[in-house]
Structure formats: C-alpha cells, structure tokens
Structure 1
Amino acid sequence: MELRHIAGFVAVAEELHFGRAAARLNMAQPPLSQQIRQLERELGQQLFERSTRTVRLTPAGEAFLEPARRVLADVEVARLAAQAGGRGEVGRVGIAFAGASTHEALPRLTRAVRAAHPGIELHLHGQLYSGEALAKVANGEIDLGFVRLPVRREGVSVRVVAHEQLLLALPADHRLAGSEAVDLRDMADEPFVTLPGTRGSAVRDALVHSCLSAGFTPRIAQEAPDTHTILALVGAGVGVTMTVSSVRHIAFDGVFRPVAGVPPQTLSMALAWRSDNPSAALRAVLAAAEQALPTPPEP
C-alpha cells in the first residue's frame, strides 16, 4: 500500500468520478484506475462499485475513507513539520546566562523568539558565569550563551549586544556614599565582596584588574555566588564591590557610584555560539536576536 494509492482512492471517493479525480491529481485516468485496482488487491476488498455512468463507494470503501483521510492529513503534518524544522521554526535551543546582568537582555530575546518562532523551545540555564557559559558553548552542551569579552575560543563566534560601565557599590552609610564619583585609590583599605574567583567571572576579573591599575591588590573579605547576595552584603556593611551598570535595578541599602582615578573600563556583553553548530533553530534565534538586541555603537 503506497501513499499515492491512498491519495488516489480519496480523490475518487470525494469526486465519485475517475476523470475528475485524475484531473485533480494531475494525472491521466488509466494510471489512476490501475492504482485503485492495485489498492483493492492489496486490501482484498472492492472499494468502488463502477458502472458506465456512476461510481459509488462499497461498504468497505466507506469504512476505508476516513482512516485514509487521516493518513494523508498526518503525512501533511509531517511534511510541514520537516519544512518548519529546516527553516528553524521548531526545535530546541539552550541559552546560558549569568543572572542579574541579563535581566533586560534575556527577556527581550525570549519575547522576540516566542513572537517570531513559537515552535522553538528555549531551555534557559541560569547562574553560569561568563567563563562557564563559554566553556559549555564551546563543548556543545549549550547552543547560545551570554558572555563577556574578550572571547578567545577557537570555533566560537560572538556578537556584542551591550557595553557596560563598571560601578562601585557602597553601603548607604559609607563615608564616600555622597560623592558624585569615587576615586578607586580611596578604596585601597576597604574590604571587598565579590563573585568567586574559580568560576570564570569576568566582573571579578575586571574588579581585580581595576584595583591593580589603581595601585593596590583588593582585599577580598567575602565571596558570594550572585549579584543579589553581594549587594545585600554590601548593604549590610560587610564591604564594597565593583559591578556593572546593568544591575542598577537591584534595590539594596546602598548606592552605586561611578569610578574615578583609573582609566574607565567597559565590559562588553556578547552572545556566543559554536560557529559549526548546524541547528536551524539556533540560526532562527540568532536572527531574532539581531532585532531584539542589536549591536550597539562602540563606546
């Protein structure tokens, strides 16, 4: 039993005329009649009562019609699904992100993808610092990651989606909390609260680099796993920290202040993906990201 036999049967059953059914299928009538005879031999049942003037379904033909229609409908669904998958309209894409610093970028991306490609399933993997996200993208565990530049991984492509400034976060009662900007050299004797140094945090690396540029090595009083906890500790007076401008939405008992006394440092956030990733769904997500998160001008 072949699909063309079933399609021919349904056409004849709906037209009740071999000539019209053949025209509908863009074929000649004799091959269509041959297909119906082959199908009847396969089933061991006569499907049509034929005369010189009329064609009627037999009881076997009537019973066969609806299942045959369902078969053709399922084949059409399968065809459309394959085409949609090839265009990247369906599939599954894993996205790695850190947390607070992507609170604006990530929802913009997910909303754009769901609006343009509702058949794409996004799997979000949070609390992955830049180095961790990059490693998982490079080894194929995750399709797409929010990372910080620079990226030095062979076979990984990146596109910048945001530029951010480093800020100091101080407790509300800090002696410099009222300053418009804080000279980083004045922080030499302050305890710092920061992200762990073993998980590839670009913000932690930027903090250390900035302090060294200011002439001192930061004294790390405590580490915490995420920005919300760090700012809570800053508000509690445990220490100060350096963070990025995208986290200014977080409320805590303290203030954010621009950094002075050292050359301004910009941290660029980018999307990273394996250059050889064959996923059509990933390509569709990247296209949606071009609209939702366009590359900003250089600072």
Structure 2
Amino acid sequence: MLQRKPLQSGRFTVEIRWLEAFIAVAEELHFGRAAARLRLAQSPLSQTIRKLEKELGATLFDRSTRSVALTPAGQAFLPHAHRVFEELELAQQATRATSGVVYGTVAIGFSGALNHLTLPPLTRAVRQRYPNISLSLTGRVMTRGGVEQLEQGALDIAFVGLPIDPSPVRTRRVGREPLGAALPIDHPLAGETAIDLADLAEDGFITIPAAAGSSLQELATQACVKAGFRPRVVQEITDPYMILTLVSAGVGVALMPAGISDIMPSASVFVPLRGEQTHMEHALAWLDDNPSPVTRAVLELAEEVLPHPAD
C-alpha cells in the first residue's frame, strides 16, 4: 500500500490511502473483497470511505446489505482518482529516468495471431534491454478499439491496421502483407499454387464481425467486392487464430494476410491469390502527448527492431 501522504488543495485534504481505498471498492463493488485486496479489515475500510465522503461533501457509494454501487458523484470522481495514481507512476518513472534506469509499465494492445511477426520481436527486445519495464498485454484488440483505447488512455501502444479514421493517434507502419486464402485441406482448390479470388465466390466465409472495427474484415470484404461478389458469411469470430481453427474444421474459408501461412493449423492450407493484390498494412499506434518516458523508450526500441516496409 502507498504511504499515507496527504494531497492538499485550498479547500480539502485527501490522503492517498483514501483514494486507494475508494478505487478498490469502486472496482470490486464489494467491501469485503476490497478489504481483502488491500489487506485490511472491513471496518477500517468503511471508516476510510466515510472520511473521504465527508471531506468531499458527497456520497460516493449506494450501500445496501446485498450490493454496493457507485453514485453519480462516485462515477464522476473515479477517473480523477485513477489519474492521481497515473501521475504518481509517471513521477516515479521520471525520477528513475534521470539516473538512467527505465522503469514502469507499458500497456500494449494487439489483435492476436495477426501480430505474430511483430509483437514477439518487440516484447523480447524490451525484456532484454529494459528488464525493469513491465508490459501489460491485451489481446483481441481490433483497430477501431485500439484507437479508442489509446485516446482514452487505457493503452499506451496498439498494433493496428491501416488506414485509420482521422484521429490524434500517430502511426508507424511495421508490416505489409498481401491477402491470401485460408482453405480446409480437403477444399477442391487446396492443392493449387495460386487461385483467383473469384473462385471462392460460392464458398462460405469465416470473418471478424463488421461491428468489431477490424481492418482485416474491411479489406477482405473490399477484395471480394472487387473480385465481383460479396462474401457469404457463415461464421463470425473476433479471434484471428480461431478463424484459422474453424477453417481447419471445414466450417468455411477465410482471407488472411500472407504472414499467417507460417502458423496455419493442421488440416488447413494457405493459398496465394493471383491478380491485383490487396495488402494489409500493420502499424504501431500511440498518442504523441503521452507523457510516459517508459512508453517513449519502448517506441524508440520499436524503431530499431521492427521493420520499415517499403510500398
């Protein structure tokens, strides 16, 4: 637990431990679980929350014998409480950086199998060069969600597909792969060295849901329309590797970037497409105004270890 240092303003004084207690109860919505998380008895925790409410002049929780819920005042106060701890973390990072030690946590979002050529080199390099950096990795993050989480501060870095909608988020391309067909091994075209996309017009497709905001889903649909048909979707799933698994199970076919050919599951094959290629472009995304020196260190390392693909 953090030391009990007060935060003062012209009107009130709040101890850091009060904010820590508030955040724990707000996230658990249960005083017993929050007390266990903070290694406190429940009674002192309740007293701490009451002190905070008295100092703020507002009730933060609706309490009953069966449930705990944030009041509107509590909901409004929560992001500011989180911000205090974020600023303390940034202060620790900054002071350690002056002595040459890079220390802290970087939150990275990625989609899963689509990033198997770019995420591992980066995380491995971070571990080797900056052993005091902790990486918080979140999978199944599609492009739209990654951009939104960067803007909200929930992520520091995200692997996304290009292009993205207009946004304060900055991007740097790290991969460019042509789309190809993932087919069950018993598909009539599975033995071909290359096929026309129009040859799959009658097949059922496995895709990421359109509502998920995936660049791959948008590119795959555009490629099919360009080939003269709209894909008949038989299954939607957000995990790219599960798409390959369902292809292997014979559920349908899918369009995937060529790099996926290295990790195809058994009973499935990757077949390149003939003709004009549709490319998926992978990128790192971040906010320029992110003040974290740790995030900057990881981005600088990414410049060294991740590709700079040509057009």
TM exceeds 0.5?
A: yes
Contact 2:209 2:238 in 1 (8 A): yes
Counterpart of 1:256, as a letter, is F
Counterpart of 1:127, as a letter, is R
Structure 2 partner of 1:255: 269
Q: Distance in 2 between matches of 1:79 and 1:237?
A: 53
Contact 2:180 2:271 in 1 (8 A): yes
The 3-state SS of whatever aligns with 1:111 is helix
Structure 1 residues 218, 120: CA separation in 2 closer, same or farther (over 3 Å shift)? same
| Alignment match of 1:172 (pick from 176, 182, 185) | 185
Contact 1:158 1:273 in 2 (8 A): yes
Counterpart of 2:132, as a letter, is G
> 1:79 deviation in Å?
10
Indicate the larger mover: 121-130 or 82-91. Answer: 82-91
Structure 1 partner of 2:230: 217
> 1:252 deviation in Å?
2.8
The yes-or-no answer on 1:278 pairing with 2:300 is no
Structure 1 residues 79, 244: CA separation in 2 closer, same or farther (over 3 Å shift)? closer
Contact 1:138 1:153 in 2 (8 A): no
1:99-110 alignment, distance < 5 Å: 99-110=112-123
For structure 2, list consecutive stretches of 5 or more residues without a partner in the other structure.
1-90
Q: Distance in 2 between matches of 1:93 and 1:258?
A: 36
Counterpart of 1:129, as a letter, is M
Deviations for 1:69-88, whole angstroms, at most 9, x for unmatched residues?
xxxxxxxxx99981426867
Structure 1 partner of 2:169: 156
Deviations for 1:114-162, whole angstroms, at most 9, x for unmatched residues?
2222222111111111221121112221000000111233211111111
Contact 2:248 2:266 in 1 (8 A): yes
| Alignment match of 2:255 (pick from 234, 239, 242) | 242
Q: Whose Rg is larger?
A: 1
Q: Distance in 2 between matches of 1:241 and 1:211?
A: 11
Counterpart of 2:279, as a letter, is T
Number of aligned residues? 220
Percent identical among aligned pairs is: 41
| Alignment match of 1:127 (pick from 140, 145, 170) | 140
TM-score w.r.t. length of structure 2: 0.67
Q: Distance in 2 between matches of 1:252 and 1:233?
A: 11
Q: Distance in 2 between matches of 1:87 and 1:200?
A: 40
Deviations for 1:232-287, whole angstroms, at most 9, x for unmatched residues?
221222111101122221323121111124x2011111100011111111110001
For structure 1, list consecutive stretches of 5 or more residues without a partner in the other structure.
1-77
Structure 1 residues 82, 171: CA separation in 2 closer, same or farther (over 3 Å shift)? same
Contact 1:85 1:281 in 2 (8 A): no
Structure 1 residues 82, 219: CA separation in 2 closer, same or farther (over 3 Å shift)? same
The 3-state SS of whatever aligns with 2:220 is helix
Contact 1:183 1:260 in 2 (8 A): yes
Structure 1 residues 283, 87: CA separation in 2 closer, same or farther (over 3 Å shift)? farther
Contact 1:91 1:121 in 2 (8 A): yes
Structure 1 residues 196, 86: CA separation in 2 closer, same or farther (over 3 Å shift)? farther
Q: Distance in 2 between matches of 1:285 and 1:174?
A: 43
Structure 1 partner of 2:279: 266
Q: Distance in 1 between matches of 2:299 and 2:139?
A: 19
Q: Distance in 2 between matches of 1:294 and 1:233?
A: 30
Ranked by relative contact order (alpha carbons within 8 Å, sequence separation 6 or more), the top structure is 1
The yes-or-no answer on 1:145 pairing with 2:158 is yes
Structure 1 residues 268, 88: CA separation in 2 closer, same or farther (over 3 Å shift)? farther
Q: Distance in 1 between matches of 2:99 and 2:160?
A: 28
Q: Distance in 1 between matches of 2:99 and 2:200?
A: 55
Q: Distance in 1 between matches of 2:309 and 2:247?
A: 31
Contact 2:96 2:103 in 1 (8 A): no
Structure 1 residues 236, 88: CA separation in 2 closer, same or farther (over 3 Å shift)? same
